[in-house]
Structure 1
Amino acid sequence: MTSTTPPPTASPAPFRPVRHEVPYFAQWETPELVAEIVTDRLDAADDPNWRASGADSPEEYRFWSWRVCGMACLRMALTHWGIDAPPNVTLGKEYLEAGAYVPKDGGLHGLIYEPFARHTRARFGLHAESRPHLPLSEVAQQLRAGRLVMLSVHPGVRSADAEPPQRGGHLVLAVGADEESVTIHNPSGWHGTSQEFAAVPWPVMRRYYAERGVLLGPGDRSSPAST
């Protein structure tokens, strides 16, 4: 009987890191004050830079600033691809008109991904794709393809020091990935620790991530180089 030696098993391809040099914007106009606002030590209306948001009054700024994490993510992407980005509240009002927010019980329901993506394509010419199911395992692949990824996470991801009561409810922008972690810009992160280029280990992100989001790409524009 002739024996044959099985062919050698191919080694898995090494993980190819990616990082896009994306500018950061917080959903509040003074990034250094985010922790004070989020922990109720400072009223958002007292943010000294509220006028930069496009709001007409401190009270309007207070209303919108808690709801524009998605607008902050969009501003980061627009600026990254060389497109003038309106201020957070100005964008929020525009996307309210486009149906991406819906008034509800004195507040707003949203961000609603499909009308957000549709208006982003029409208004800014970007690739924008609503993904009601977006596995975490796909995020690095999308980043390597030149896209940025808006991820729905529990806001506690900023410190990741407790089990979240649920996943989702807040949007962050994935800008990079390596074998150990996904790198995010968090519009409500803590200044100096979890706002920009914050590396979140994959197992930690899995606890906070709702497996949905929005893919953003440069459309017919050339994407800036990533590392």
Structure 2
Amino acid sequence: MINAVPYYSQWESRQRVIDFISNTQSALDDPLWAGSGAACVEDYATWARHICGMACLKMLLACRTGRVHPTFQLLELAKQYGAYVLEGDDIKGMIYAAATEMLKHEFGVESQVVTDLQAHDIPSVISPGQFFIASVHPTIRWPDREPPKKGGHLVLVTAATADRVMFHNSSGDTPASQENVVMGLRDFGRYFAGRGIWVR
């Protein structure tokens, strides 16, 4: 499986993700935070854990257009389309239908929400050059562990064969769990919630 899709983490310092997710270091201390396009480091730290969907869009748009959009630039657009909703201190999103509208109207990219999908159906969904933003459990970064449930995080599936998928994981904590991850469909199904966005 060959993949030339650029990789971007949802944190600017991809080598520090292991510290951010384990809370041994705060995103407030990310020295590269300004590259995200956030207005201030506090906004960056608040949102960084919630923008896996924006990282997926950033990667696929970089592949399709050759242009790298700062993650928070995409986030501000997504908010305008209702792809994220603030309820007190809770952040709801990425909301799929709103994200597909944003892709269509802002970037001319056709996509659709897909539900009730089994992992073994993914190869029939994406053709070469297409993508699938898949809802998985974030522990997919540790394939030797059983997830407590399915869903809650988004990864960008960039290729698929009859028995495997390749994906970028914006919250992977090592190079091997971040970029061009290859996983058998049976294992992927342990994390996959059966829904996502097919990007044509």
User: Is TM > 0.5 for Structure 1 vs Structure 2?
Assistant: yes
Show the 5 A alignment for 1:6-17. none
Residue deviations 1:45-104, cap 9 Å, x none?
A: 111000000111111100111111000000110011125242112211221121011111
Determine which structure has the larger helix proportion and give its number: 2
In the TM superposition, residue 144 of structure 1 has moved relative to its aligned partner by: 2.3
Residue deviations 1:201-226, cap 9 Å, x none?
A: 21111110000000113xxxxxxxxx
Counterpart AA for 1:34: V
State yes or no: 1:101 paired with 2:84: yes
Which residue of structure 2 lines up, in the alignment, with residue 29 of structure 1?
A: 12
Secondary structure of 2:176's aligned partner: coil
Which residue of structure 1 lines up, in the alignment, with residue 36 of structure 2?
A: 53
Secondary structure of 2:73's aligned partner: helix
Structure 1: stretches of 5+ with no match in the other structure: 1-17, 218-227
TM-score (structure 2 length as normaliser)? 0.94
What is the CA–CA distance in structure 1 between the aligned matches of 2:175 and 2:68, rounded to whole Å? 24
Structure 2: stretches of 5+ with no match in the other structure: none
Show the 5 A alignment for 1:49-88. 49-88=32-71
Task: Give yes or no for contact 1:45–1:59 (8 Å, CA) kept in 2.
Answer: yes
Task: Give yes or no for contact 2:126–2:198 (8 Å, CA) kept in 1.
Answer: no
Show the 5 A alignment for 1:118-129. 118-129=101-112
What is the CA–CA distance in structure 2 between the aligned matches of 1:68 and 1:60, rounded to whole Å? 12
Which residue of structure 2 lines up, in the alignment, with residue 114 of structure 1?
A: 97
Secondary structure of 2:28's aligned partner: helix
Which residue of structure 2 lines up, in the alignment, with residue 222 of structure 1?
A: none
CA RMSD of superposed structures (Å): 1.5
Counterpart AA for 1:117: T
Task: Give yes or no for contact 1:19–1:175 (8 Å, CA) kept in 2.
Answer: no
Residue among 130, 142, 155 paired with 2:125: 142
Counterpart AA for 1:170: H
What is the CA–CA distance in structure 2 between the aligned matches of 1:181 and 1:51, rounded to whole Å? 36
Show the 5 A alignment for 1:76-225. 76-217=59-200
What is the CA–CA distance in structure 1 between the aligned matches of 2:198 and 2:163, rounded to whole Å? 22
Q: After TM superposition, which residue ranges in structure 1, 4 or more long, deviate above 4 angstroms?
A: none
Which residue of structure 2 lines up, in the alignment, with residue 4 of structure 1?
A: none
In the TM superposition, residue 173 of structure 1 has moved relative to its aligned partner by: 0.4
Residue deviations 1:5-60, cap 9 Å, x none?
A: xxxxxxxxxxxxx6442110100001111111111111011110000001111111
Counterpart AA for 1:92: L
Report the number of matched residues. Answer: 200
Counterpart AA for 1:165: P
